[in-house]
């Protein structure tokens, strides 16, 4: 989007929340050369924050602080997950486009739920408020959506291996502390999680208030998949597990397709998909891993093989940076898509 002088228009940006996701938003705005005239950080209290050697003056979040902003990215961290409930639509009323990383409005009919590589058309007709999907949903659909377009997905089963950074900075510290305690022969202390996470896995992410026995994270993956792909007929079963990994989520995915798709054709489809990197060579021990995906903008896909337990079955393994593509990066990409399509003005 350019102005009459032919130069790139620049925008006033607010980042609400400066926890794990908010910090990565600041980094990625710079890394991606986002056309920002200014970047203002808003949080619960005023203070200074140093990110990669740069000092930022953090202001208290308030409706007035959002006056004059073009974009407000709600990071959904630092205990401020519900900040968009308080300030989101008020920011829109003040002429600001809101892109929310939290889950408060994902299933709201007024709010597009967007993965730019998957459903970019969803930004059309927005009402000033757009939402990021859940991190696990984004990472899964980066691989599933191209295959869905190629052969149609009847059903998918996903087992996730989710890093502690998805819980926040305190969980990263807890894993570090428990690892040191184990090495010193001491009992691990638990605060963030109900059980030790070091050298353990926790098969619960969220509660089960809506569907007994189904955690909120598992329910999100089903509901959000239906909304993003626009197909409620896809059958979805997930088991979401927290693992002792600092950053990047991985997922084992089993697909039941509407028509046959060979492994070679699946690789070709995925290799052509934007934002996807195929890493699939068992003979060289090349496959997606959290350590490979961390700090990368692409989602990695490998272990592509037939699943002979069902008709037209295909299995694969994916890994993606949950703080980047699963959160901060996806939000910025939504803003970039709005700029690209000249949809920045609030209706």
Residue 99 lies in a domain: yes
Average pLDDT of the chain to the nearest whole number:
95
- pLDDT value of position 81: 55
Question: Is there a single domain that holds both residue 144 and residue 284?
Answer: yes
Q: What is the rounded CA–CA span in Å between residue 3 and residue 58? A: 30
Side-chain half-sphere exposure of 238, counting CA atoms within 13 A: 27
The answer to whether residues 227 and 154 belong to one domain is yes
DSSP 298-324: SEEEEEEEE-TTSTTEEEEEEEE-TTI
What percentage of the chain's residues is helix, strand, coil (to nearest 5)?
A: 30, 25, 40
Residue 3 has pLDDT above 70, yes or no: no
- Could you tell me if 123 and 144 lie in one domain? no
Note whether 84 and 115 are same-domain residues.
yes
Residue 4 lies in a domain: no
- Which runs of consecutive H residues, i.e. helices, occur in 94-168? 135-151
Domain that holds residue 77: 11-132+327-340
Answer yes or no: 135 catalytic: yes
Answer whether residue 5 shows pLDDT above 70. Answer: no
Q: Tell whether the model's pLDDT for residue 298 goes beyond 90.
A: yes
Residue 344, CA atoms < 13 Å, CB-side half-sphere: 17
Which of 96, 126, 135, 148 is the catalytic position? 135
The answer on 222 and 180 residing in a single domain is yes
Same domain membership, residue 286 and residue 258: yes
Q: Is 249 a catalytic residue?
A: yes
Looking at residue 33, which CATH number applies to its domain? Answer: 3.40.50.720
| 157 and 263 housed in the same domain | yes
In a domain, 282, yes or no: yes
Q: Count the domains in the chain.
A: 2
2 in a structural domain: no
Contact 139, 320 (CB under 8 A): yes
Which of these is catalytic: 126, 148, 240, 249? 249
Answer yes or no: is pLDDT of 279 > 80: yes
Q: Do 208 and 241 share a domain, yes or no?
A: yes
How far, in Å, CA of 20 to CA of 192, rounded? 15
Q: pLDDT tens for residues 240-272?
A: 999 999 999 999 999 999 999 999 999 999 999
């Amino acid at each position: 989007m350019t102005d009459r002088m032919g130069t790139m228009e620049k925008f006033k940006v607010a980042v609400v929340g400066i926890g794990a996701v908010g910090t990565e938003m600041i980094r990625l705005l710079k890394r991606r050369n986002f056309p920002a005239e200014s970047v203002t950080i808003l949080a619960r209290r005023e203070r200074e924050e140093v990110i990669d050697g740069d000092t930022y003056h953090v202001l208290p979040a308030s409706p007035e602080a959002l006056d004059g902003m073009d974009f407000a990215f709600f990071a959904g961290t630092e205990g401020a997950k519900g900040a968009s409930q308080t300030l989101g639509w008020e920011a829109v009323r003040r002429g600001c486009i809101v892109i929310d990383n939290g889950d408060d409005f994902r299933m709201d009919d007024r709010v597009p739920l967007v993965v730019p590589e998957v459903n970019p058309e969803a930004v059309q007709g927005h009402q000033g408020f757009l939402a990021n999907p859940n991190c696990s949903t984004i990472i899964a659909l980066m691989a599933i959506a191209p295959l869905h377009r190629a052969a149609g997905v009847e059903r998918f089963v996903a087992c996730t291996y989710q890093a502690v950074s998805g819980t926040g900075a305190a969980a990263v510290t807890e894993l570090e502390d428990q690892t040191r305690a184990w090495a010193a022969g001491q009992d691990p202390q638990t605060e963030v999680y109900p059980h030790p996470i070091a050298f353990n896995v926790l098969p619960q992410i969220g509660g089960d208030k809506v569907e007994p026995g189904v955690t909120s994270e598992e329910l999100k993956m089903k509901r959000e998949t239906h909304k993003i792909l626009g197909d409620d007929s896809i059958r979805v079963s997930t088991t979401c597990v927290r693992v002792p990994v600092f950053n990047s989520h991985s997922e084992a995915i089993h697909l039941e397709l509407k028509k046959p798709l060979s492994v070679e054709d699946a690789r070709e489809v995925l290799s052509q998909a934007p934002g996807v990197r195929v890493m699939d060579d068992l003979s060289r021990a090349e496959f997606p891993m959290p350590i490979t995906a961390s700090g990368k903008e692409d989602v990695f896909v490998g272990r592509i093989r037939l699943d002979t337990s069902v008709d037209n079955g295909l299995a694969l393994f994916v890994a993606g940076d949950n703080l980047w593509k699963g959160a901060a990066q996806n939000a910025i990409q939504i803003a970039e898509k709005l700029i690209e399509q000249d949809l920045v003005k609030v209706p």
